[in-house]
Structure 1
Amino acid sequence: MSALLEVTGLEVAYGHIEAVKGIDFKLKEGEITSLVGANGAGKSTTLLALSGLIKKAKGSIKFEGEEVGGLAPHQVVQRGLVQVAEGRATLTTMSVRENLELGAYTRKDRGNIKADLDRVLQRFPRLAERLDQFAGNLSGGEQQMLAIGRALMARPRLLLLDEPSMGLAPIIVQDIFRTLKEINAEGLTIFLVEQNVRQALKIAQHGYVLENGKIVLDDTGRNLLGNPRVLEAYLGG
């Protein structure tokens, strides 16, 4: 399988503080890849750099062989890299429908948007029931579904997810991860940043462990789940 995204020597700094310290990784087309690690390891910073929301200090970010590291966020979305932000970032005073339609704002194929909206609502029936409600009136789980649905409206080639399980009840987390597996089975490549290490590695074909801004382990999701270092540091022994 070819690498859809290839990152080489990525460095990101906040002033004098180096948050990401020269990391290399690849995302294979059609796979779920998980980036796991403790809070503050640099996971979210890595995603923000891929999305163009913060500027990299050094390194290369190639998507389908094209350098995208210097592009503006809307240009990154147009190329097919779409991020679901940490904390969901739904627009609370807009309706569910308006949030979903906003996901398609960079698209030129306006005629296909209605069909895509119908598909998203089939995938998330609870959103269909609440289509004209304010997004701020949804539960946390429903807002996460809305955030994923909005990202799907952009027709991504690569879906970037930042902590999708954060603040959600365990049963809702199971629903979200099952949905991600279904979306991936339909062919969408997913890059998942998660503190819920067990869940993230369970659904991932490949995983990377990030510690203090550096990748310290790189293996299949299954092998990382059984790795003594991962077990001790993240899975309670």
Structure 2
Amino acid sequence: MSANVSHTPLLRVEGLQVAYGHIEAVKGIDFELREGEITALVGANGAGKSTTLMALSGLVKPRAGRFLFEGQDLGQLKPHERVARGIVQVAEGRAMLTTLTVRENLELGAYSRPGRKAAAGELERIFELFPRLKERLDGYAGNLSGGEQQMLAIGRALMAKPRVLLLDEPSMGLAPIVVQEIFRTLVSINRSGLTILLVEQNVRQALRIASQAYVLETGRIVLQGNGRALLDDPKVQAAYLGG
């Protein structure tokens, strides 16, 4: 967790409701992201976590609610305009362009940024975080392992120089040792000052690194607090940690 945080909400979500037809997936939730912190949104499959991220990214239209980023309402912004403002999502399943090379995938992440020099500098930072991507730079993304594809997905998002990084289930389908590596990298990225919203079914891993966390059940926030404190909460242990 970042040591240099302001505790000022960088982004506030107020009264978010999202429905698919008659099915209400998110039922009027409120939460905030403090600048420089990792915030976790955890819960079982179908709780509304990914829907919340897609609404934040502009990929689904809410029934009600608003998003305030540095006090400004994002509601009318299209997805690419939100990326340009600094809100960038790493999608569940990684969404690789498998017939493009690692280099080409990374360069696509910088499409909203002017100037080749800035993008080149960011590439070097990505290689420091993920040396394996440099080794496979000219290989096809489709030939990478699942863990390497997740590294590429995160690297591609970082190429956009986000202010807020939205991560949707980064541990999904990965071996435990790779999950540990991914989470260590997230902590490192956060220590550089990046604000992160982490959606995860791996509740234990998410709460270990989160400054604050919200527990979602069937579209509602039922618990919130410091991540490590929630690890010790009997309700969380009984529902998610086998306690």
Q: Please, what TM-score do these two structures have when normalized by structure 2? A: 0.96
Percent identical residues: 70
Counterpart in the other structure of 1:87: 93
Counterpart in the other structure of 1:236: 242
For the residue of structure 2 that corresponds to 1:35, the secondary structure is strand
User: Deviations 1:173-213 (Å, cap 9, x if unpaired)?
Assistant: 00000000000011000000000000000000000000000
Counterpart in the other structure of 1:152: 158
1:52 aligns with 2:63: no
Q: Please, what TM-score do these two structures have when normalized by structure 1? A: 0.99
Counterpart Cα distance in 2 of 1:150 and 1:183 = 14
- For residues 116-127 of structure 1, the aligned pairs below 5 Å read 116-127=122-133
TM-fit CA distance, 1:109: 3.8
Q: Pick one of 167, 174, 178 that aligns with 2:173.
A: 167
Counterpart in the other structure of 1:8: 14
Counterpart Cα distance in 2 of 1:98 and 1:202 = 34
Contact preservation (8 Å) 1:56, 1:69: no
Counterpart in the other structure of 1:29: 35
Contact preservation (8 Å) 1:85, 1:161: yes
1:205 aligns with 2:195: no
TM-fit CA distance, 1:110: 3.5
Q: What's the C-alpha RMSD, in Å, of the aligned pairs? A: 0.7
Counterpart Cα distance in 2 of 1:91 and 1:124 = 18
Contact preservation (8 Å) 1:7, 1:59: yes
* Number of equivalenced pairs: 237
Counterpart Cα distance in 1 of 2:140 and 2:68 = 38
Unaligned runs of at least 5 residues, structure 2: 1-6
Counterpart Cα distance in 1 of 2:60 and 2:75 = 10
Q: Counterpart of 2:221 in structure 1: which amino acid?
A: I
For the residue of structure 1 that corresponds to 2:95, the secondary structure is coil
